[in-house]
Amino acid sequence: MPFEFKFPDIGEGLTEGEIVRWLVKEGDDVKEGQALVEVETDKALAEIPSPRTGVVLKILAKEKEIVKVGQVIVVIGEKGEAVVAPSPKPEAAAPRPSVGVVGELEEAPEEVPVSATKPQPVRPALVSPHVLATPAVRALAKELGVAIDQVKGSGPEGRVLEKDIRQATGAKGEVAEAPKKVRKYDLYGYVDRIPLRGVRRSIAKAMVKSMYTAPHVTTMDEADVTPLWKIREKEKKAAEKKGIKLTILPFIVKAVVAGLKEHPYLNASLNDEDEEIILKKYYNIGFATDTPEGLMVPVVKNAADKSILQLAEELTQLAEKARSRKIDLADLKGGTFTITNYGALGGIYGTPIINHPEVAILGLGKMKEMPVAKDGKIAVRKILALALSFDHRVVDGAEAARFLNTVIARLEDPDLILLET
């Protein structure tokens, strides 16, 4: 009997994934455990193995298609077997929250078939400023006499789309078969239209989730890292002999861990449902990594228990895996605090977005040589700009400043870091 293979939950709380590439085709013989398809979930690429030995009778999901957990994607059976109509897509009655590198992600509502939707009575159009819709959609609603504030939007964040307006008038069925016209130009010239898919789609959903959930506040300061830079330069060659690239980042990770130990509310998350703050007793430090596909945040687990050289080696390995898309999904999860180094690209100050459900993120600016008054004299010092964004529901400004002072104290006096290593 043909076996309907449903898209499995391959990660904690996964609800969907994008088909990147099929590794088999219809009619191929497959063995149990053989890789069937490559999918992208929460920024990580994963190969889904075959659950049994047999023949690929029917592939039901196309490349670049986004599929839900529980949706039949392929039918496997014996050669010559007839393919029975596949099971319907999983109902979205009680979906589990999708947890990715940036925390829980809201799911867009399932589209309702036209036949199951009762046409709304035609009313004078109301253009409510509180309804999310483009000017074109508002104009269409006015033209068709639809009260736009009475229409349930099916787009992101409840945005009302053109199809929602036509569906509300019962006109959707008349145009359903017509191909959508995609213009290659707008009022001012030619344009390219890039589908929001893969890593960029995950980033977009994560940023919206974070900004609409946590009230962001950013505090900024500077650290004189001249002594730390000298230590790094001194030990760099010794590290290279061990095959380790030593940067300043492992020292910053250690300084951050020291700050989190003294100020535990920055190493936390907020449980809105139960109205409780969860203080983490472990220190998993994420670091934002620029990749060709977009931003990824690999996580160094148990950073407090690792030496400077161990951190340097792991940071390098995780960054390389992220850029080559060979990183495991587990390496993108479990963070308690994140560091982002936009200074590597030349920025000095920024306002980083918190990596939800964490409550704080530290931004590193460009290190600059600057004249500084020290002991009554002017000296050229290496100054590192710092920007700490925090969730004001959990952390107050005074506590954020104290945390930043603890971090700066370690960066300006590296002996404190070495004593804690």
Q: Which residues are catalytic?
A: 392
- CA distances 51 to 88, 191, 245, 310, Å, are 20, 44, 41, 38
Tokens read off for 402: 């104290």
54-73 burial: b if 16+ Cβ within 10 Å, else e: bbbbbbbbeeeebbbbbbbb
Q: What angle do CA 117, 121, 122 make, to 5 degrees?
A: 125
Q: How far is the C-alpha of 370 from the C-alpha of 141, rounded, in Å?
A: 59
Q: Is 400 helix (H, G, I), strand (E, B) or coil?
A: helix
Q: How far is the C-alpha of 39 from the C-alpha of 19, rounded, in Å?
A: 5
- CA distances 298 to 25, 240, 307, 323, Å, are 33, 23, 18, 11
Tokens read off for 190: 């030619």
Query: Do 63 and 197 form a contact (C-beta atoms < 8 A)?
Result: no
Q: Please name the residue that has the structure tokens 């600059």.
A: 368
- CA distances 183 to 180, 193, 195, 243, Å, are 10, 9, 14, 53
Q: What share of residues in the chain are helix, strand, coil (percent, to 5)?
A: 30, 25, 45
Burial of 40 (0-12, 13-18, 19+ CB in 10 A): buried
Q: How far is the C-alpha of 347 from the C-alpha of 249, rounded, in Å?
A: 16
Q: State the DSSP string of 220-237.
A: EEEEE-HHHHHHHHHHHH
Type of residue at 282? Y
Q: Is 172 helix (H, G, I), strand (E, B) or coil?
A: helix
Type of residue at 306? K
